[in-house]
Chains A and B, each alone.
Chain A
Amino acid sequence: MRRIRSRLVTILPAFVLLGLAMVTPFCSVSAASNSLGVNPRRDYIVKSGDKVTDTLNVSNLSKTDNLVITIQLIDFGAKNETGAPQLLLGQKEPTRWSLKPYLKVPSTLSIPAGKSAQVPFTIAIPAGVGAGSYYGAIKYSTGGVGASSNENVSLTSSSATLMFIRVPGEANDSLRLKSFGAFTPDTSGDNGTFGSFYGGSAPKYLAYRVTNNGNVAEQPTGSVAVKNMFGRQIKLFEKANPGNNIVLIDQTRRFDLCFNQEATTKTNPSTGNDAEMIKCNNPSLAPGRYTAQLAIVYGDSGSSSHELRQVASFWYLPIWFIAVVAAVILLIVGVIWLAIRAFSGPRYSANRRR
């Protein structure tokens, strides 16, 4: 009996090692999916003291590889003055809009090739939590395996669902208008310059920038009316926020309004999907001075409503027009001078004769 036991003691580790040896090469050659489909964004209204339970859909787009994802809740802010989010990956301290204390999600999920899975989550807002916006990103990370001995760079892909929670009530709505006027974006579209004089081509955009100093992610609404120098309205932007975009807490966001927007639909022959292509064409503005009146309203139901108004103006005087005006002025001055000469001519000649 003892012999058998001692043999087992000797053989068992050998089997374990053999098993590991058989499994390990399999693990190292098994590829992990880097292809996923997620819900991009969810918005909820949750009253203080209430709880919401729901699920998010995550798909493994690979037909051969399983998808193993790590799920994390990450705070995010604005990357720039457009609507690009920036995950605050290294930040330990929660932001003042952090959803981390109120949201629970599982930490990992495994999805077979070509399948989808539901990620359950719960948002519980304790009683006494103040009105305002709370948001965060549920990040799904694939892979995460370091480069093997023969490789230099390991690739992983991640995606996220942006979660926006609004706790209703009297919140601190505070947008400050920083700039408004004619605008020329740079090639990246992230930045650009406001101008008041355009001598080459007319400005294609009006833009305004607002900073959110409150505790609500605001979605301003409103309108912009543009008048020419004779007071005639030449353009009405019925929606000052045509994309219904939001301004995150502490963000300064720019909203661009194209004078002459053209939308064309292009069909992808392989998928049959229609893609809308939006192009901002040159506006057909006559030379002159233009005045734009901006009025934006923000603050939602249950909160106070605020209105921001500003007037901005710009000149569009192309070189050809300046040349024409100069020629006209010269012509008028010339005519006057000739007329004066014609009137005074006889007297002087008479005097001279005398």
Chain B
Amino acid sequence: MNTFLGRPRLDLSRSREVGCGRGLLTVLGSVLLLSVVVPFVVFGNAGAARLSFRQLQLSDSTISATGAKYDFRFNTNTSGPIGSVRIEVCANYRHESSDPCTPPVGFDASAAALTAQTGITDFALNPASNDHLIILSRPASVAATPQQLTLQFSNITNPSIVGSNYARITTHIATDASDAETDDGVVAFATNEGIGITTEVPPFLLFCTGVTIDGYNCRTSEGSFINFGELSSKVPRAATSQLLASTNAPYGYSVTLAGSTMTAGNNVIPAMTGNLSQTGISQFGLNSRSNGLPFIGSDPEGPGLTTPSAGYNTPNLYKFGNGDIVASSNDVDDYRKLTMSYIVNVGTDQPPGRYVATISYICLANF
């Protein structure tokens, strides 16, 4: 009995010891496991009150323009005291207020003057303002309901580089904008090269088509007609033409196929949809690769990077789709020559006639 009575006590005490050790180990293990797993799961994000409407109008958006007027208009969003407004102009977008600001090259607001204000009308320029930072302070921080503020500044020099810049507007309780912002928002503004024409893409998009083009020179383009000979239900008829394009437009170009499949009056040879040439089946299609079935065509050549589009870029698979883009580039591109291979098959039931088609290749700059 003693033994019996003693064992549970002994066991209990031991079990407490063991339990304590197990607990420690469990905690240790959990910490180790969590240290492996937690970093993959936990992540937090922060939010901020936004200025619900923001607008910036420049009197002159030409690069390096002096004496420009910057007219800011925005709606505050938070009810409460407003002591100051801070406007910082940066060339980079800042995701967090702690992100560094890169002042736009040439931009200068150090001589800016506050010429008009509506909404809250007792703002004055704070001496802490500098070439890319404008701080407006009030005599005292006074509570205000959400409202629209307009602030017009004169005598600002525009950035000297074409492109977009950002003005980050924040409102503060402190009169010197030294505290955290209550509302914030960003406006973007662009500067350009001149009045009237904002952009003139360097002016060339060169394009030619022909049955043959020697080298990469549109001057050598020859031929505007393709002859398949007599169409046959036993042998596919094939022919080629070539197109050459080049541009210095920064967005590249696209070549669109326009036209219709071969017809003779009301009789039509069906357009292919990306399939193999099959003798005895009426079909008409093209691609821009070197093919083995039948042996026709060649792969794109030239120093350019234009690539044939899907549907026209697989050997031995042919397609004809009015309005399809057959080739495109998305950047400035040197000469690129594409050999377009056409095949036509007719079935035995294809009504006789003179089958013709007009195919137009349209080369357009991308945007």
**Closest chain B CB from A325 CB (angstroms):** 6
Among the listed A32, A54, A293, which residue makes an inter-chain contact with B95, where contact means beta carbons less than 8 Å apart? A293
Alpha-carbon distance A114/B220, docked complex (angstroms): 11
Per-residue A-contact encoding for B221-260, CB less than 8 Å = 1, 0 else: 1111111100000000001010100010111111010100
**Closest chain A CB from B354 CB (angstroms):** 8
Alpha-carbon distance A42/B195, docked complex (angstroms): 14
- Are B207 and A85 within 8 A (Cβ)? no
- Are A162 and B224 within 8 A (Cβ)? no
- Are A35 and B201 within 8 A (Cβ)? no
Alpha-carbon distance A84/B255, docked complex (angstroms): 9
**A residues within 8 A CB of B41?**
289
What is the size category of the interface that chain B forms with chain A?
35 or more
Does B206 sit at the interface, judged by CB under 8 A?
A: yes
Supposing A44-B197, A63-B219, A154-B357 touch, asked if A83 and B205 sit within 8 A by C-beta, the answer is: no
**B residues within 8 A CB of A230?**
39
Does A155 sit at the interface, judged by CB under 8 A?
A: yes
Supposing A40-B249, A157-B363, A231-B43 touch, asked if A147 and B225 sit within 8 A by C-beta, the answer is: yes
Which of B103-111, B130-138, B275-283, B303-311 touches A? B303-311
**B residues within 8 A CB of A144?**
358
Interface residues of A in 275-307 (CB under 8 A from B): 275-278, 288-289, 291, 293, 295, 297-307
Alpha-carbon distance A61/B217, docked complex (angstroms): 9
Count A interface residues, CB 8 Å: 116
**A residues within 8 A CB of B25?**
336, 339-340, 343
Does B335 sit at the interface, judged by CB under 8 A?
A: yes
Q: Could you name 23 residue pairs across A and B whose Cβ atoms are closer than 8 Å?
A: A31-B223, A31-B224, A37-B205, A37-B218, A76-B364, A79-B254, A84-B366, A87-B256, A159-B362, A219-B190, A221-B166, A221-B190, A225-B95, A243-B250, A271-B216, A273-B303, A275-B304, A275-B334, A297-B187, A299-B55, A301-B189, A305-B189, A336-B25
Residue positions of B touching A, CB distance < 8 A: 14, 18, 21-22, 25-26, 28-29, 32-33, 36, 39-43, 45, 50, 53-58, 61, 92-93, 95, 164, 166, 185-190, 195-201, 203-211, 215-216, 218-228, 239, 241, 243, 247, 249-254, 256, 258, 262, 303-305, 309-310, 323, 325, 328, 330-335, 342, 344, 354-367
> 6 tightest A-B contacts by CB?
A40-B365, A35-B208, A223-B93, A305-B187, A151-B225, A268-B303
Q: A38-B203, A153-B226 are in contact. List 4 more A-B contacts (CB 8 A).
A: A149-B354, A222-B93, A270-B215, A302-B57
